[in-house]
A and B are shown apart, each in its own frame.
Chain A
Amino acid sequence: MKTFLCAVVMVMIMTTSSSADQLRMAVTTSFHNSGLASILLPEIKKDIGLTIQLLVVGTGQAIKLGKAGDVDAILVHSKSAEQALVDSGYVLHRREIMFNDFVIVGPSSDPANVRKASTAVEAMQAIASAKSTFVSRGDDSGTHLKERDIWIGAGLDPVNFEHWYWSVGAGMGVALNTATAQGAYIFTDRASWLNFKNKADQILLFQGDPILFNQYAYLPVNPSKHPHVKANFSTNLENWLTSKRAEALINGYKINNEKLFFFNAKR
């Protein structure tokens, strides 16, 4: 019996060892939950023969992974955090790839009357003055940082909020589930929302303010800081991500006939 079990384990170990060209990239939960990753990855494999291993984390953790050299490149959406990383020298540069936008989602009854707001700041102020339950990512992700910026722009500080403000410390999906369960307001990127399957009574209440613009950028890790990173692969990937082919795929990705991402890389 022992030899049998050993044999089984050996076979299992052998079948999972893999070779080929691989690149590890940390991406944000919002990018992955949008479903775009599952469109792009097979095409990248087809075009340049590169298998990309995605680590789906918040922007905060993605930047940490890049700094530690645990990934070869990162694709995130928080300009100030990205710029700090570029300045620290741990990544080669920051290349803008595409953008989408943030929206405010909430219960269809809309107790805080967010629907009527004309700016994002007004919408957030309405939620705060109505003390309607609001779910925040609370995980230092790009979405969370953006949400905090808007609170602060509205002259409010989330640190002082009472129990109506729920900081869940989780990814976009988990936070959306919490908001659905509580009938709460939430700040989310459009792609994650459109691709989310547990919408129940929640609807999109506010969108379109230019402040809600959400830029995604690609940052390859600097091989002079971490010699083991696969710099040639990350350059290949960057070239692909900024190519005409990527442009067509990104601009062509739709859910319910709605375009999710807008390609804006400079060539």
Chain B
Amino acid sequence: MQDLREGLINAFWLLATFDSDLVEITLRSLQVTITALMVASVIAMPLGTFLAIKRFRYRRLIVAVLNALMGLPPVVVGLIVYILLSRSGPFGVFGLLFSPTAMIIAQVIIMVPLIASITHQTIREIWSEYRDLMISLGASKVQRIQALLWDGRRPLLTASLAGFGRGIGEVGAIMIVGGNIDHATRVLTTAIALETGRGDFGLALGLGFILILLAIIVNFAIHMFAQTERQSLW
């Protein structure tokens, strides 16, 4: 309990003094996860939509695998990305290991199945409602996809936020591929792991509270931009 109170006090002081290390690792957390989220959304949303509206032979199998991969263990993803990016691995020549880029790659892999699965579920439901109407109106393929994505924007936003949540709090993969290097790849979650290792639970908890606060602020900001949850708009 003592540690919890100390954690709250630490969080307050770190914020109040605008600690420069804190600002740095917080921005890096955001940079890694938001970049990964954008890349993952660009891959996963068309993939989910495609799986929802196109009928082909192994569709059911692919959807089942995608759903299963929502629970992909980050530490395994980290290890695989590590081996691929290591100097003695197949992509070693790029020298990407222990860089923010490596962390982004790992997080994209973690996020894609989650976002694609939710997108697939969402678009499938809308498509079953709109299908006959769209065909009778003679909408082109592009028009159909546009309409589906637009009308599914709220659930798709939820898909993105779920991806963000999975990424921002993740530590297993980015610890392995990023290496938790001070001023290079240290982010909030790896800093928390480090301070816990030093036995400084107060500081670790302080950073933890800041991480939670950050997640709340980002979610709130996205809702503001997207104008959801307003009285006049459902």
Contacts and interface: CB of A to CB of B under 8 A. Distances in A.
Nearest to A229: B87
B38 A197 contact: no
Contact of A173 (B95, B181, B199): B199
B198 A68 contact: no
B80 to A, nearest CB: 15
Contacts of B31: 9, 12-13, 16
B180 A56 contact: yes
Contacts of B169: none
A5 B204 CA distance: 30
A174 B47 CA distance: 41
B196 A174 contact: yes
Interface in A102-143: none
Interface in A1-36: 1, 5, 8-9, 12-13, 15-16, 18, 24, 29, 33
A226 interface: yes
A54 interface: yes
B20 interface: no
Contact of B35 (A13, A56, A172, A176): A13
B87 A195 contact: no
Contacts of B198: 33, 173, 195-197
A214 to B, nearest CB: 19
B34 A12 contact: yes
B179 A55 contact: yes
Given A68-B88, A69-B88, A171-B197, A53 B181 contact: yes
Contacts of B100: 16
A177 interface: yes
Contacts of A264: none
B23 to A, nearest CB: 11
B133 interface: no
A67 B27 CA distance: 33
Contacts of B225: 1
A235 interface: no
Contact of A54 (B27, B34, B181): B181
Nearest to A33: B198
A35 B219 CA distance: 37
A173 B197 contact: yes
Interface in B22-38: 27-28, 30-31, 34-35, 38
B87 A228 contact: yes
Nearest to B225: A1
A71 B121 CA distance: 44
A173 B196 CA distance: 7
Interface string A34-63: 000000000000000001011110000000
Given A69-B88, A197-B199, A198-B199, A54 B35 contact: no
A70 interface: yes
Contacts of A171: 197
B64 to A, nearest CB: 33
Nearest to B27: A12
B98 A177 contact: no
Interface string B170-210: 00000000011111100000000010111111000000000
Contacts of B226: 1
Contacts of B183: 51, 53
B67 interface: no
Interface string B81-99: 0000011110010010110
Which of A1, A33, A55, A228 has the largest count of B CB atoms less than 10 A from its CB?
A55
Listed from nearest, the 8 A-B pairs whose CB atoms lie closest are: A173-B197, A198-B199, A69-B87, A12-B31, A197-B199, A68-B88, A53-B181, A55-B179
20 contacts: A5-B34, A9-B34, A12-B30, A12-B31, A16-B28, A51-B183, A53-B179, A53-B182, A53-B183, A54-B181, A56-B180, A173-B196, A173-B198, A176-B199, A177-B199, A195-B198, A197-B198, A197-B201, A199-B199, A228-B87
